[in-house]
Amino acid sequence: MTVSRRADFPLLVANPELHYLDSAATSQKPKAVLDAMRAYYEHDNANPHRGAYDLSVRATQRYHDARTRVARFIGLADADCLIFTRGTTEALNLVATAWGHANVQAGDEIVVTGLEHHANFVPWQQVARARGAALRVCPLTEDQRVDLDALRGLVGSRTRVVAFSHVSNAVGTVNPVNDIAQIARSVGALVVVDGAQAVPHMRVGFDALDVDFYAFSGHKMCGPMGIGGLAGRRAILETMSPYQFGGDMIEFVRDDYSTWNVLPHKFEAGTPNVADAVGLAAACDYLDGIGMDAVLSHERALVRLLSSRLAEVEGVHVFGPQPEQRSGVVSFTVADIHPHDLATILDKDGVCIRAGHHCAQPLMRRLGVPATARASFYVYSEERDVDALVRAIERARAIFASPQLVE
């Protein structure tokens, strides 16, 4: 087991008895990120791009530097092709709205997979409905991987978009991005990847991936809430119309028409979220300081440990592929205990897990369950968190087995 970084996270230091196992929902924030944001507000805060005065120039520079830093973190050389958004949801809606509505025609097809978070499902469903296209959902294997043979059979000359997650938030499956992209490319489809659960946990090299768009969220990778990004291919971004209008994104405004600013500003209408961009850049520094390979192996070790411990608990069913094909997520059910009841009982022991459909109702339907319980790890997770979780599950089982409760 590699070293936990718990000491870097003020919230966890202040709550030594807390077992935070909900990092797939949002991560805790290291002091380095909190300090960077505070320093920005204390020393450099002004509205960027607008002022001729030095302070505004400094704020503009901080924003620009943050973009360059984050782009480097995700392996994107052309930093102007990184659009800052509120997060993955906004990034995917941007593509669906600005590209989808303009390019998908009646009779076309959009392919998503049965693993998708609603953020990468509903926007495409809505494009399909609005344009008279069909949404096709790629089936999964028994262990919740994308069925590549089924995908080959599903795509065709009418497929305009293949949208899929790099890593599933609900069961942790790590998808083979380039294999899926190759199948999409074989029919000339746009390739859109939801990287919300990948960028925080593994090395992602956008330029080395054969994809057109890649979306991610800052708050899941030690950064603040309210910032994320969309990496895209310049040739495609240049052809797209803006999807929001206002300050910063224009070149000229006449009474009857307007022209647009260059990338990335064309897609960033209004005052940008500079402090959160600065925080996200600090999060990239923080994660690079650990090393993304070390992050992944730390999580995998905990996933392996928890999986083996859960295998010894009667009535537990774990979803998803083997730990080697999963990120730091363990999604499971315990016989006769609803995941919501389980999460409530665990909370009494200071164990924070997520219970529900994980914004993936189409997947839950395919699994035949209304919900699962999900434990998810990050750089601050420790073996004692696993111990506490397993102990608390045993306690929940004992409570539900007691005759008083059954009566």
Residues annotated as part of the active site? 359
User: What is the Cα–Cα distance from 99 to 230, expressed in whole angstroms?
Assistant: 13
Give the shortest CB-78-to-ligand PLP separation in angstroms: 23
State whether residue 114 is helix, strand or coil. coil
Q: Determine, following the binding rule CB under 6 A, whether residue 165 of this chain makes contact with ligand PLP.
A: yes
Q: Which is nearer to ligand PLP, 112 or 396 (CB)?
A: 112
Q: Which stretch binds ligand PLP (CB under 6 A): 93-101, 117-125, 129-137, 362-370?
A: 117-125
Give the shortest CB-257-to-ligand PLP separation in angstroms: 33
Helices and strands: H and E segment counts in the chain: 15, 15
Q: Which is nearer to ligand PLP, 224 or 242 (CB)?
A: 224
Q: Which is nearer to ligand PLP, 27 or 165 (CB)?
A: 165
Q: Binding-site residue total for ligand PLP (CB under 6 A)?
A: 13
Q: Determine, following the binding rule CB under 6 A, whether residue 327 of this chain makes contact with ligand PLP.
A: no
Q: Determine, following the binding rule CB under 6 A, whether residue 197 of this chain makes contact with ligand PLP.
A: yes
Q: Determine, following the binding rule CB under 6 A, whether residue 392 of this chain makes contact with ligand PLP.
A: no
User: What is the Cα–Cα distance from 28 to 31, expressed in whole angstroms?
Assistant: 10
Give the shortest CB-361-to-ligand PLP separation in angstroms: 13
Q: Determine, following the binding rule CB under 6 A, whether residue 89 of this chain makes contact with ligand PLP.
A: yes
Residues 118-137 that bind ligand PLP (CB under 6 A): 119-120
Q: Determine, following the binding rule CB under 6 A, whether residue 273 of this chain makes contact with ligand PLP.
A: no
Token digits for 226? 């309210």
CA distances from 182 to 141, 176, 177, 190 (A): 19, 10, 9, 11
Q: Which stretch binds ligand PLP (CB under 6 A): 4-12, 60-68, 81-89, 229-237?
A: 81-89
Tokens 């926007």 label which residue?
Answer: 123
- Closest of 158, 226, 202, 407 to residue 325, by C-alpha: 202
* Selected binder of ligand PLP within 59, 66, 73, 87 (CB under 6 A): 87
Q: Report yes or no: 190 and 212 within 8 Å, Cβ to Cβ.
A: yes
* Four-residue CA torsion sign, 313, 319, 323, 326: negative
Q: Which is nearer to ligand PLP, 197 or 331 (CB)?
A: 197
Site map (CB under 6 A) of ligand PLP, residues 205-244, x = contact: ------------x----------x----------------
Q: Determine, following the binding rule CB under 6 A, whether residue 173 of this chain makes contact with ligand PLP.
A: no
* Selected binder of ligand PLP within 5, 69, 117, 300 (CB under 6 A): 117
Q: Determine, following the binding rule CB under 6 A, whether residue 169 of this chain makes contact with ligand PLP.
A: yes
Q: Report yes or no: 171 and 318 within 8 Å, Cβ to Cβ.
A: no
Q: Determine, following the binding rule CB under 6 A, whether residue 276 of this chain makes contact with ligand PLP.
A: no
Identity of the amino acid at 384: R
| Pairs from 263-267 (Cβ < 8 Å, separation ≥ 24) | 263/80, 263/81, 263/83, 263/234, 263/237, 263/238, 264/67, 264/80, 264/81, 264/82, 264/83, 264/84, 265/49, 266/237, 266/242, 267/83, 267/94, 267/98, 267/230, 267/237, 267/240, 267/242, 267/243
Return the exposure string of 23-36: e unless at least 16 CB atoms fall within 10 Å of the residue's CB, then b. Answer: bbbbbbbbeebbeb
Q: Determine, following the binding rule CB under 6 A, whether residue 196 of this chain makes contact with ligand PLP.
A: yes
Q: Which stretch binds ligand PLP (CB under 6 A): 49-57, 113-121, 140-148, 284-292?
A: 113-121
Q: Determine, following the binding rule CB under 6 A, whether residue 27 of this chain makes contact with ligand PLP.
A: no
Binding footprint of ligand PLP on the chain (CB under 6 A): 87-89, 117, 119-120, 165, 169, 194, 196-197, 217, 228
